[in-house]
Chains A and B, each alone.
Chain A
Amino acid sequence: MRLRSPRWLNNTIGVLILITVAELIGRTGIAGRSWPPLTDVVGYLAEPVAQATVLRALTATAASAGWGLVLGIVFAAIAALLANFIPVLRPGLDRLASVLNAVPLIALAPLLITTVGRESTPAVVAALGVGFVMFVAFTAGLAGASATHQDVFSVFGSARSTTLLRLQIPVSLPTVFDGLALAAPTAILGATIGEWFGAPRGLGVLIVSAMQNYQVLLLWAAALTAALLSLAAYLIAVRLQSGAVRRFT
């Protein structure tokens, strides 16, 4: 019999290895001066001034990402419901979503600055990324009921709205939360990219200005914070997803 190590132990070991390697590369300096040891970055973050700067940026980025997430989900849900109730629209909406997704966000951002303004661009870029992922998740989820389940609802004379409420939505939830696990980090990525092009504050702004002024520790601190925020969003979504799977399958 083979003993299997528990998953949390594997995960912890993996993370520890990653941190150690990053630290070693920084200590030995083999990647140059732009790769500091992680301990220096953490030490830098412990300073009150740096902490306040990063925290202010984090709040701004998290707010933009949050708005982007909500906007993206709402628009994706509306589009998916339209596609569900008016099947003629389905191919067109699918194509529109693909085209929007094919346009690089980085190309859209300068355009958005001139249209929706510097303040809102991060949220809108985030919403665009989220919208596509969630549209795919919603449409796939709503179409996920088995043929027999659909037949059962038909023969009992269920109205389309009742079928949506009592069959399609519950069936879709695991898929929708799967989508959310992808969309949440996408929102943070989108918000950060949106900030590069002249937003007044945020982690993206911090990253760009630290890069231009060669403030290596600040750059790493901002990047690390963005990564942790993204990871936290992902983990929350995964937790929700496993809850949905347990309840709805």
Chain B
Amino acid sequence: MTESATDTIQSGGSAATAAGSTAAVRPAPAEAIALRNVTMSFDLGRSKRMTALEDFNLSVAEGEFVALLGPSGCGKSTVLRLVTGLEQATSGEVLVEDKAPADLAKSHRLGVAFQEHALLPWSSVRENIALPFRLARRAVDWQRVDELIRLVGLVGFEKARPRQLSGGMKQRVAIARALVLSPDVLLLDEPFGALDAVTRRRMNGELARIWEEQHITTLLVTHDVEEAVLLADRVVVLTGRPGRVRHVQTVDMPRPRHADITRSAEFRAVVDHLTDLLDVDRKAE
């Protein structure tokens, strides 16, 4: 237990020192997530197979925020599930911190928020956020839990049960839960997909603010172009099934990015460009 705690401090604490000391072995910047020539196909029975991903390549650097953008059913959630270790690639290589993805989950250094919040209905907000501590069999750091409740703006709702919360609040609890152990890698699978446009926009603003505070390596899966451009350092646009990388867009607008940035000409231009790229698919269909 002490060992894994030290690990976290080393890898998350000072990226500069870590990169400097390992420069001889591995050129910086360190690669946090790597998918190489990944193909993923599912057996549908009666000798039919569905190929979700084909020859897929993706690399996310340590401390980088990457958004996967694509039409629904293009396999972007499959990419995320491969990185969590919940699914195994049919062929190719998936590495997280140079190891098998499941290793990160086993050592409790992965944070995930799914589209369905999946909170425990019998637990309070506070207990739900503390859950990762319990699953890691560590003593709950209540200070950390309360800090996250403040961060996601749920002060006063600590004792509420999930069913008493709105959809947006539940997602904020799910994100706080994903962050509570200070994970090395954060994976977000359309966390605001089920929310209305206004709430979604506000949540995006909050996620941007939260991310500013601790630059965690993040992979976000979304079909919302504005969301991707607002949050990410790089946006990877996927083709329709089978999913391949169509385009990689670097977004170097300065941070912190506030909601007003979405009205700037530069932002609109990037959004329009990416939307066009997504539309190519639909025309082809």
Residues of A within 8 A of B (CB): 146, 148-149, 151-159, 162, 166-167, 170, 247-249
Contacts and interface: CB of A to CB of B under 8 A. Distances in A.
B121 A249 contact: yes
Contacts of B134: 162, 166
Given A156-B112, A157-B110, 8 more contacts: A151-B84, A151-B118, A152-B118, A154-B86, A155-B86, A162-B135, A249-B121, A249-B122
A154 B122 contact: no
Scoring A146, A158, A159, A170 by chain B CB atoms within 10 A of each residue's CB, the highest score goes to A158
B7 to A, nearest CB: 13
Given A148-B116, A151-B86, A156 B122 contact: no
A166 B110 CA distance: 19
B86 A149 contact: no
B161 to A, nearest CB: 10
A146 to B, nearest CB: 7
B137 A162 contact: yes
Contacts of B86: 151, 154-155
Contact of B84 (A149, A155, A247): A155
Nearest to A247: B122
Contacts of A148: 114, 116, 118
Interface string B113-144: 01010101110000000011011110000000
Q: Which 10 A-B pairs have the closest CB atoms?
A: A158-B135, A148-B118, A155-B112, A156-B135, A148-B116, A157-B108, A157-B105, A152-B118, A157-B106, A248-B122
B183 to A, nearest CB: 9
Nearest to A249: B121
Contact of B120 (A156, A159, A170): A170
A249 B114 CA distance: 20
A125 to B, nearest CB: 36
A154 B136 CA distance: 11
Contacts of A149: 118, 120
A137 B218 CA distance: 41
Q: What does DSSP make chain A's interface, helix, strand, loop or mixed?
A: helix
B135 A151 contact: no
A248 B121 contact: yes
A152 B114 contact: yes
B118 A156 contact: no
B107 interface: yes
B136 A156 contact: yes
27 contacts: A148-B114, A151-B84, A151-B118, A152-B112, A152-B118, A153-B135, A154-B85, A155-B84, A155-B112, A156-B105, A156-B108, A156-B135, A156-B136, A156-B181, A157-B106, A157-B107, A157-B108, A157-B110, A162-B134, A162-B135, A162-B137, A166-B120, A166-B131, A166-B134, A170-B122, A248-B122, A249-B122
A156 to B, nearest CB: 4
A235 to B, nearest CB: 24
**For A148, A157, A158, which residue has the most chain B Cβ atoms within 10 angstroms?**
A157
Contacts of B112: 151-152, 155-156
B110 A151 contact: no
A149 B181 CA distance: 18
